[in-house]
Amino acid sequence: MNSLNAQAAIQLIPASQFSIDELTAIYNQTRVDYMIPMPMNAARLREYVETYDVDLNRSLVAVEAGEKRGVAMLGVRADRTWITRLGVLPSTRRGGVGEALMRGLLAQSQDLKINFSMLEVIKNNVPAHQLFLKLGFYEVGELLVLRRSPANLQIEPVIADARRLERYEALDLVSDDRGTQPWTNQSESMSHVEDVFGMHLTLADGSSGWIVYQRQKFLLSRFIYKTENGDPAKMAYAFLSHLHHQYPRLDTHIENVQANDLHLPGFMKMGYVESFRRIEMWRGTPPDSILSSN
């Protein structure tokens, strides 16, 4: 059976017709042998849907011969969509399911009259990468996933005028012009998150900057930051020294740091390590909101 005939046999059903538990089970089955499995439970998937504006009515489950074969989700914002959580059962791959799901989500975007879509693919996932190129996506950069375990040594904070930011202050900063950002780091994503905190630092030499983050019970995550004046690597080390001095026992996991981020040397000096990389890809012409305000 050729690719077009195979896709014709695949039924695409809105994900909203399945429970969160069912969607979680489908997703986890598609990732059992994945390069980076990233399994989810129902609570995490529900949070993911809410945080990233996933529209389950426009997300899809692929069914063939009565069996669920794959899933793909669509995040929807004012002038852009995001393709995420694409997964196909290992036994069904290379049978057209992934392409059918992708074409289905792109059709959903067209129905919304949105001509710009974003996604990320794990670096070296060649089959997925090639599929996205085939469907008109192009590479725009690499994104790093970083981790840091709690250090055994006490971190001494860099001398600075440090001011705690209330949630509303932190979200105001996140909404300011930060240049082009991947979907997970856009202001809308952070606004949906609880336990958001922030810190503004001014160093003795006049350098200044801020960091906004989510603090969970055992984890620091979702870092958004900006250097206002001075060397970004120096500012990164300064605000990280204060953060890890304050929370010495917490693990840290941050996603989708751009590979050309000038703050990165400060993260590495503080003991961060790269877990893996993603390739960010776009389809269509980005709207002004992507280029200037997220």
- Tell me: the pLDDT tens digits for 170-219? 999 998 767 779 999 999 999 999 899 999 999 999 999 999 999 999 99
Among 213, 254, 209, 201, CA closest to 232? 209
All CATH 3.40.630.30 domain ranges of the chain, comma separated, are 3-115
Among 142, 212, 141, 136, CA closest to 176? 212
| Distance in angstroms (rounded) separating the CA atoms of residues 239 and 8 | 54
CATH architecture of 3-115: 3-Layer(aba) Sandwich (3.40)
| Distance in angstroms (rounded) separating the CA atoms of residues 169 and 283 | 34
- pLDDT, tens digit, for every residue of 217-246? 999 999 999 999 999 999 999 999 999 999
Number of separate helices (H) and strands (E) present in the chain? 10, 12
- pLDDT, tens digit, for every residue of 73-117? 999 998 999 999 999 998 777 779 999 999 999 999 999 999 999
Q: What is the pLDDT of residue 292?
A: 54
- pLDDT, tens digit, for every residue of 247-288? 999 999 999 999 999 999 999 999 999 999 999 999 999 887
- Give strand pairing partners of 164: 199
Provide the whole-model pTM.
0.91
Contact 105, 58 (CB under 8 A): yes
Centre a 10 Å sphere on the Cβ of residue 113 and count the other Cβ atoms it contains.
7
* Residue type present at position 63: V
Quote the distance between the C-alpha of residue 259 and its chain's center: 14
Q: What is the pLDDT of residue 294?
A: 44
CATH 3.40.190 assigned to 146-283: no
